[in-house]
């Protein structure tokens, strides 16, 4: 009896700590709101929140007795600013083009890094309770679903011809560079964490420059693609 209870507890522990419950939460939100966008972005943000809540002790960004501050990393990565933009867009639709542009470069930048330069996220861990395949599945979803959600939003916009102007392009660059100077650089300075392996000290400087140029170019491409799409679809 005790063995069975222990086994059940262990499975429940894995279920919670790895976020298997999150799709259920998203489904419940959807059934109550019939809002695919809202239920999806809640689920996509819940995963990193859940991950760093349970596994913060596996990181050394902050020493004892401040290890709980490791949970802050769920707001530090560039992808995490995409989650923020998704929620801002939900309450302030006018920011749609900036949110689209940022998710565009998050998606293409991530997959370019994974496929072309074997980029690794420094947030990955080795832990007996960490289920790698499920967490990888969520990582892929986080870097695919948001841009698909925003592409879907283009079909239901009422006044979309105003979008993807020069101002929208400017604010997209402003968002990206704000992340670099106000979030990434301070985090890197205090924790020594490069966030992405391509930005580590061991990586050749020329490769970092290449990524920097590509990411800036993707913002331009994103704004052009958004402009083309709304004038084709709307």
What are 121's strand-pairing partners?
A: 196
Prediction pTM value: 0.93
Residues 50/22, Cβ–Cβ less than 8 Å: yes
Distance of CA 167 to the CA centre of its chain: 24
Tell me phi and psi for residue 40, to 5 degrees: -70, -45
Is pLDDT at 209 greater than 80 in this prediction?
A: yes
- Give tens-digit pLDDT for 8-42: 667 788 999 999 999 999 999 999 999 999 999 99
Residues 93/156, Cβ–Cβ less than 8 Å: no
Determine the Cα–Cα distance for residues 50 and 55; give it in Å rounded to an integer.
9
Measure the CA angle with vertex 139, ends 134 and 144; round to 5°.
125
Of 177, 184, 33, 2, nearest in space to 105 by CA: 177
- Give tens-digit pLDDT for 33-76: 999 999 999 999 999 999 999 999 988 899 888 889 999 999 99
Work out the average pLDDT over 169-194.
Answer: 96
Contacts of the segment 8-14: beta carbons below 8 A, 24+ positions apart: 13/129, 14/129, 14/131
Is pLDDT at 83 greater than 90 in this prediction?
A: yes
Determine the Cα–Cα distance for residues 123 and 218; give it in Å rounded to an integer.
24
Residues 150/83, Cβ–Cβ less than 8 Å: no
Residue written as tokens 């991950």? 51
């Amino acid at each position: 009896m005790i063995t069975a209870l222990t086994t059940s507890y262990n499975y429940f522990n894995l279920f919670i700590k790895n976020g298997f419950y999150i799709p259920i939460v998203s489904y419940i939100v959807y059934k109550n709101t019939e809002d695919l966008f809202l239920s999806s972005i809640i689920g996509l943000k819940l995963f990193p929140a859940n991950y760093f809540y349970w596994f913060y002790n596996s990181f050394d960004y902050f020493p004892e007795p401040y290890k709980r501050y490791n949970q802050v990393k769920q707001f530090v990565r560039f992808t995490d600013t995409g989650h923020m933009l998704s929620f801002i867009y939900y309450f302030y639709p006018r920011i749609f083009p900036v949110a689209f542009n940022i998710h565009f470069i998050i998606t293409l930048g991530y997959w370019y890094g994974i496929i072309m330069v074997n980029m690794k996220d420094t947030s990955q861990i080795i832990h007996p309770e960490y289920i790698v395949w499920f967490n990888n599945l969520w990582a892929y979803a986080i870097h695919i679903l948001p841009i698909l959600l925003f592409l879907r939003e283009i079909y239901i916009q009422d006044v979309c011809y105003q979008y993807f102007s020069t101002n929208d392009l400017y604010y997209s660059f402003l968002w990206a560079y704000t992340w670099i100077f106000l979030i990434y650089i301070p985090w890197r300075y205090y924790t020594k964490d490069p966030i992405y392996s391509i930005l580590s000290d061991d990586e050749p400087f020329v490769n970092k420059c290449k990524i920097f140029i590509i990411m800036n170019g993707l913002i331009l491409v994103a704004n052009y693609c958004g402009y083309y799409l709304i004038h084709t679809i709307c």
